[in-house]
Amino acid sequence: MNNKPLLDYINKYVNLTIEEETLLLSKIVNRNYLKNQYIVQQGEICKSANFIISGCTKTFHMDLEGQEHIVMFSIEDWWTSDLGSFITQTPADFNVQCIENTQLIQFTFDNLEALYKEIPKLERLFRKIVERAFVASQKRIIRNFSLTAKERYQIFKNTYPKIEQRVPQYMIASYLGVTKEFLSKIKSQITQNQ
């Protein structure tokens, strides 16, 4: 049970007393997933908000043609979930699947609601988490309509160099919203110009 990364993370936003920490830890579940396992499946209600201790996940939507569209990769010290489904307790639009063996800490919806009542300042913490998720979502929309695929790739590479190393090219293509063939073309264009 390695809960330190979570407590360190929370302490960046709000200060908990020892009693509050103990209460919080009593409401979480530590869980391990194997590579390729699903944490959330599209169509089911997302039952937990998950803080990653180790590993890597992809969050993707599968459209009516059966095509995967990745919206996010998550690694250590990040959250992963279908936050929209979790928040509204309605069927998920996204799948969250492990692309490495992944160890995480889960907050169920009911436990989190109970925690809000007992530790109101967590309301502030989760407001800030949702705010950050919202800002990231908005920035992604802007990038998608105002930049070319090549520009988006370069920003991705600079912003998440660790992730670029860690996940296969065809998943990065899906994240960027292009085919793997076109990403291959972009990469050869970039290496030719330097």
Partner DNA sequence: AATAGATGTTAATCTAGTTTAACATCATTT
Partner DNA sequence: AAATGATGTTAAACTAGATTAACATCTATT
Residues 50-79 that bind its own copies (CB under 8 A): 61, 63-64, 67, 69, 71
The first and second tokens of residue 71, run together, are: 């919206």
Distance CA 28, CA 174 (A): 33
| Residue from 38, 44, 139, 169 in contact with its own copies (CB under 8 A) | 139
- State which H helix or E strand residue 183 sits in: helix 180-192
Q: How far is the CB of 46 from DNA (least distance, A)?
A: 25
Residues 113-132 that bind its own copies (CB under 8 A): 116, 120, 123-124, 126-127, 130-131
Total chain residues near DNA (CB under 7 A): 17
Q: Residue 22 or residue 138: which is nearer to its own copies going by CB?
A: 138
| Residue from 44, 148, 159, 161 in contact with DNA (CB under 7 A) | 148
Distance CA 81, CA 102 (A): 13
With CB under 5 to 8 Å by kind, the binding choice for 124 among its own copies, DNA, none is its own copies
Contacts of 49 (CB under 8 A, 6+ apart): 79, 81, 83, 86, 106, 107, 112
Q: Are 183 and 153 in contact (CB under 8 A)?
A: yes
Single-letter amino acid code for the residue at 31: R
Instruction: Give contact residues for its own copies (rule: CB under 8 A).
Output: 61, 63-64, 67, 69, 71, 83-84, 87-88, 93, 116, 120, 123-124, 126-127, 130-131, 133-135, 137-142, 144-146, 177
